[in-house]
Structure 1
């Protein structure tokens, strides 16, 4: 069976073509592809549109054909390759990208050309964040499967979290990102309208697929995790007392400001509390606001911004923390939460999006209402003071996560969908 994948982020084979190392995103697809290649009747072509490519390129690595195509949106292409240009220029480029989101429609013909060239039995589009799946409009004879990652049409509604309107214009990069998401959601809705077959893994994504296309066929397809997390195990004896860990990106809806406010509450009675934040939190824009918030609450000595963390560092931080926290206002099935659960770390998360499909309150983790820093603080305090509860949540959460992300189950679900759609 010849399967053509469209992916949002370059995979190792793509990065090899331009002499770069793979970024932190998309590793679950690498694991999935590796497992699928064990079945000899599969042949894969993996296509990625990205600003790292200056021209169409194609290479074969480990019996997989990787195809790279240049970013169709010129502003996004320049932003991806600005290489040290001032942050003002970068912001202008991103704002330009936001206002030319409709240009992504022009890329549809390029996707169709690739599909016609390789003549796949099936096209599998990973995510609706790029317009790949619009190619279905011009390829009605080719089966398409669109698997859900996030749904921008919903994310945009929660983008600003609890930030007042008067504050939003202070962050031009966030405003550009939001405007791009707002405009692209029109295209995303067309993707849901013109496609029939979707794959997902939470009650939330299924509900929104059916909201936008009541005639859709939905396949339950899980995600694989890296062996680094499946093979590692959290133990309370190795955890540093009072330590909390989270990973994030500098966006308002990630809710890091809510977690910092919760730390300020806990600090009043728990002087040993310590928060470590992994992820690209810089020194400008929303990142600067997070740093200033921590300083203004007198938390400079107990809120640590780690910056970029690789896989081994994430595993180490998870092993050393007492609690993992996900404070987002919207997510589908965040890999960061799944990885923490797979290791058995006691988890506290906001009740948002697809998270209730991952955490059952009091059984596999604890939940709090989005934006409620006081309740979040109490949930953290409860876990830190009740070792028996923490141990039970650790064991149950790990067991459920391993069953959910077990490789044979994920591959079986995907193979079933491929077979149903192709008859092969």
Structure 2
């Protein structure tokens, strides 16, 4: 693969670029870290990514170009018409700059050398965006929603608009990289001519070290990785809480993000419609003493929350391959997850965690209580061992990186059109 010229288009600034710019690496994009370094060692790598400023540079490892979204088409055209690459790898399907890039690659006759990684399929996800939320809440707008277009309906419309970019991307390209039977099925239903390549993704580096242990947990604690928008299904967990509290009154949810419970009275005007709905549920079920918001957490801080949790819950209305579920599995934290999308490919019910029908708050509560129940510790230890074993195979860095290079090798053999 020596001398192979590879072009990457990313939605965020990968850590390898942040380091080249002399900046502090944040918690976003860490899953790209080991992969980008591996590809940079094996190939001549150029990384282009969406940013709030236009920036470019080169060092001994990579060439990089950051662009403002408004300038994406021109920036990409300048780069791609100036230099031909052996492989064009676009991370994510749902952004306008992804479509801009595909169109340019198509124009220069190299579409057979282009592969798109499916992160989430937003054209499908948008159909499940507001599941379990009353119609009146979906159509409601708070003051903040009017100012910043943050209502639930605005979110649905934003996803629907981005879905148009995604559908056109998937209809133009020949190759996609996916991880689950769900993303394979959905992608091929959009374009039956697609050539599907399976390649699992790596996790953020800190999750490859450390193991969950019952001796170190906070009993009756539920960790939820995020609750910022409806797809993550936090409203379902709140509805399940009264059933859990009947038997385990000390139960507490630990989650990330802004503490909406501080916004009472006049301050509630600062909330989005979804946040207002969550606060209504917290009011209705009297959950103020049973929720803790941690704000934005680094990867290391997230890891600590998994290790302290009695159980990790993913209540999403839809997922492709949840990074949070993967992180919990890698550490061995007990998992209760909604049976949606690609989650069925990630863990086996009763062996590596527990799966439930997404709308069944009764079963969500049942499995959380099952984890809390200490009568069968041997079964719990087996589940922890099983999920760690499986996660180490799914997220094997060397195996996944080698598979990606193999995919590049296959594409390189494609004839130019």
Alignment partners' CA distance in 1, 2:155 and 2:25 = 23
Deviation at 1:141, TM superposition (A): 2.4
SS at match of 1:37: helix
Match of residue 393, structure 1, among 367, 371, 383:
383
Partner of 1:247: 225
Alignment partners' CA distance in 2, 1:292 and 1:117 = 55
Which ranges in structure 2 are unaligned for 5 or more consecutive residues? 264-270
Match of residue 139, structure 1, among 87, 108, 114:
108
Are 2:123 and 2:163, in contact at CA under 8 Å, matched by a contact in 1?
yes
- Per-residue CA deviation, residues 68-89 of structure 1 (Å, 9 max, x unaligned), is 111128xxxxxxxxxxxxxxxx
SS at match of 2:289: coil
Are 1:249 and 1:280, in contact at CA under 8 Å, matched by a contact in 2?
no
Partner of 2:237: 259
SS at match of 2:6: strand
Deviation at 1:399, TM superposition (A): 0.4
Q: TM-score, length-normalised on structure 2?
A: 0.87
Are 1:255 and 1:371, in contact at CA under 8 Å, matched by a contact in 2?
no
Deviation at 1:164, TM superposition (A): 2.4
Partner of 1:26: 29
Alignment partners' CA distance in 2, 1:204 and 1:49 = 27
Are 1:383 and 1:389, in contact at CA under 8 Å, matched by a contact in 2?
no
Are 2:126 and 2:159, in contact at CA under 8 Å, matched by a contact in 1?
yes
SS at match of 1:354: helix
Higher alpha-carbon deviation: 235-244 or 199-208: 235-244
Counterparts in 2 of 1:181 and 1:377: CA distance versus 1, 3 Å:
same
Deviation at 1:138, TM superposition (A): 1.7
Deviation at 1:28, TM superposition (A): 0.7
- Structure 1 vs Structure 2 CA RMSD: 2.0
Higher alpha-carbon deviation: 111-120 or 407-416: 111-120
Partner of 1:373: 361
Alignment partners' CA distance in 1, 2:280 and 2:298 = 25
1:8 corresponds to 2:6 = no
Higher alpha-carbon deviation: 182-191 or 393-402: 182-191
Counterparts in 2 of 1:364 and 1:32: CA distance versus 1, 3 Å:
same
Alignment partners' CA distance in 1, 2:73 and 2:40 = 28
Deviation at 1:16, TM superposition (A): 6.2
Deviation at 1:186, TM superposition (A): 1.8
1:115 corresponds to 2:80 = yes
Alignment partners' CA distance in 2, 1:413 and 1:356 = 22
Deviation at 1:388, TM superposition (A): 2.4
SS at match of 2:250: coil
Match of residue 95, structure 2, among 122, 130, 135:
130
Alignment partners' CA distance in 1, 2:16 and 2:403 = 25
Which ranges in structure 1 are unaligned for 5 or more consecutive residues? 74-106
Are 2:93 and 2:169, in contact at CA under 8 Å, matched by a contact in 1?
yes
Are 1:49 and 1:69, in contact at CA under 8 Å, matched by a contact in 2?
yes
Partner of 2:119: 149
Are 1:13 and 1:61, in contact at CA under 8 Å, matched by a contact in 2?
no
Partner of 1:83: none
Partner of 1:345: 333
1:299-338, aligned counterparts within 5 Å? 299-338=287-326
1:357 corresponds to 2:358 = no
Deviation at 1:109, TM superposition (A): 5.1
1:219 corresponds to 2:218 = no
Counterparts in 2 of 1:413 and 1:225: CA distance versus 1, 3 Å:
same
Counterparts in 2 of 1:363 and 1:11: CA distance versus 1, 3 Å:
same
Partner of 1:188: 166
Alignment partners' CA distance in 2, 1:377 and 1:279 = 23
Alignment partners' CA distance in 1, 2:60 and 2:259 = 35
Deviation at 1:61, TM superposition (A): 4.6
Alignment partners' CA distance in 1, 2:392 and 2:204 = 11
- Per-residue CA deviation, residues 298-350 of structure 1 (Å, 9 max, x unaligned), is 22112111111111211111111111110000111111110000001111100
Q: TM-score, length-normalised on structure 1?
A: 0.86
